[in-house]
Structure formats: structure tokens, C-alpha cells
Amino acid sequence: MDKRELVNRSIDYIFQHLEEGLTIKEVANYFNFSEFYFSRLFKEVTGKSIYAFIKRLKIDQSAIDIKLKPNKTITDIGLDYGYSSSNYSSVFRQHHRLSPTRFRKFIKIKSISNPFYPEKVEQFKNFADYDERIKIIFLNDIKVIHERIYGNYGELKGKWLQFLETYKDFIQDETLMIERFYDDPTISSQNSCICDLCITTNITDIKGNIAMIKGGKFVTYRFEGKIKDIFNTIQGIFLVWFPESGYEMGEKYGLNIYRKIDEANGYVIMDLCIPIK
């Protein structure tokens, strides 16, 4: 296992155990490394310290829970991630520059600025508008060639071009492009993107680059439109539909499955898929 694959697996492990009071030592022990060696390796690959990374994930993921679980108290959400009530508020404020209570009030607003197009203020539809286009489906496991990207959301297009060039010999007519996102751009820093770039495959002999996206029950919304409007739709699902739907996310990621791309006209058809319990 090379360094990057090890770090990728450690991040998967961290996401899976984020609500269990996870420590650096526990992660290092799971992979049979010393805490010092693992910390040094993690920073070498990601550019971030493992301590800062886990802390950032806890606060960002707790903010997503505040967004999706309007009936759950902020105290209970903080406890889920190992924080006492007063400590959670303090750490949250340091990271997001406002208290979790004010954050909850802010996300109830039915419009939001677009981090990718700062001049654009997004207005959302009502619950019924999203609900009539959402389907609950079961996805099979999906075998993919993938690379995990750390960095700025704005660099994803360039990263995609590099990725597709690297694996062009494995692209067939039926190949699908998939993004697996772990962040919410309205919460996480623009420079803290974690995203898996994936193409579907049936092969097994690319060492270190084959992964299986776990199937299961997903909320799916078929998006057809301009690339610049994807953000509005995703945020509408999370801000308007999810809190009223009665569903909870089953995993801490979402999938964008591209069905058609017309880059010249900035137009796509894609399935926005969110795992649910």
C-alpha cells in the first residue's frame, strides 16, 4: 500500500468513526503505525495536520447535521461529536465565526450567496417542488477507477481533465463519470475540498486505484440544466427538502453521476444521489 492509498483509507476510517470520540492514536493504531509516523505521513500527503483535519471534519460535519436535523438540539449534536455544550459552541464559533445557534437561524433563510459565482444570490423552491422530482432508489455497488483530490473546489475542472487524460485508455462508451463529495461548500473552506473523481470500470488490475462505491438506498434527483445551476439544486435539496422529508443521510458523502455532458454549452444531465438510512 503506497502513502497516498494509506492516507485515503485512513480518511475513510475517520469518516466512519467520526462520532465515536476518535483520536489520532486510534487511527494510527488501526493501521499499525506509530502516532508520530502516521501524523508525519498524513501531513505529507494532504498538507494538513491530522489533528487539525479531524477537528475540522467534526465541526463541519456537525454543521451539516444542524442543517439537516432541525428538530435535534444543538447540545445533542455537539455531544454526538464529543463536545460538551459550552465547548462545542466555543469551538464552532472559532471555526465558523458565529455560534451554532446563529448558524441554525442563518440556514433557515430561503436564499444564499453562491460561493462559485459570488455575484449570484440563489433562491430556493419549496418542498413540494423538490419532492415531485425526487426518487428513492437502490443502487448496486459501483466499481470505479478513482483519485482523491484535496484542495480548492475551483480546481476540480482541471483535475478532471488530468484524471481523464491519465485513464483515457479505460474509457468506453458506457463509462460514467462520478464525483463523490464529502464537503458542503457553504460550510467547508473553499480550500478544504475532499472529492473522489471516478470513472466506472470492470477491470481489476490497476493497483491502488480501484475502489467500490457502496450501494444501497439513495435519494436521487435528476438534474438537467446549466452547470452553474447545480449548486442551487443541491443546496435546495439539503436546505429545503431534507429537513422536511423525514430521511437521514446514511453516509457522509454525496454522489454526482454524470449522464450527459455538453461542455461547449455548459449543460449537463446528472443524477444527484444522497445515501439515506
Task: Answer yes or no: do 100 and 145 share one domain.
Answer: no
Q: pLDDT digits over 37-50, tens only?
A: 999 999 999 888 99
Task: Answer yes or no: do 101 and 146 share one domain.
Answer: no
Q: Is residue 168 part of a domain?
A: yes
Domain that holds residue 223: 134-275
Check residue 85 and give its pLDDT.
Answer: 82
Check residue 213 and give its pLDDT.
Answer: 94
Task: Answer yes or no: do 104 and 188 share one domain.
Answer: no
**Beta-strand relationship, 193-200 and 177-181:** antiparallel
Q: pLDDT digits over 121-173, tens only?
A: 888 999 999 999 999 999 999 999 999 988 888 888 899 999 999 999 999 99
- Name the H helices within the chain: 3-16, 24-30, 35-46, 50-68, 74-80, 85-96, 100-107, 127-131, 156-166, 230-236, 242-245
**What's the farthest any 2 CA atoms get from each other in the chain?**
55
From CA 197, how far away is CA 180, in angstroms rounded?
7
From CA 94, how far away is CA 96, in angstroms rounded?
6
Task: Answer yes or no: do 98 and 145 share one domain.
Answer: no
Task: Answer yes or no: do 25 and 144 share one domain.
Answer: no
Task: Answer yes or no: do 152 and 254 share one domain.
Answer: yes
Check residue 208 and give its pLDDT.
Answer: 65
Looking up residue 49, the CATH number of its domain turns out to be 1.10.10.60
Phi-psi region of 193 (alpha: psi -120 to 50; beta: other; left: phi over 0): beta
* Position 14 pLDDT exceeds 80: yes
Q: Is residue 124 part of a domain?
A: no
- 41, 1 contact by CB (below 8 A): no
Listed range (174-183, 202-211, 224-233) with the worst mean pLDDT: 202-211
Looking up residue 162, the CATH number of its domain turns out to be 3.20.80.10
From CA 137, how far away is CA 188, in angstroms rounded?
28
Alpha carbon distances (Å) from 148 to 95, 124, 145, 249: 24, 31, 10, 22
From CA 109, how far away is CA 140, in angstroms rounded?
36
Position 114 confidence tier, pLDDT thresholds 50, 70, 90? confident
Check residue 193 and give its pLDDT.
Answer: 84
pTM score of the predicted model: 0.89
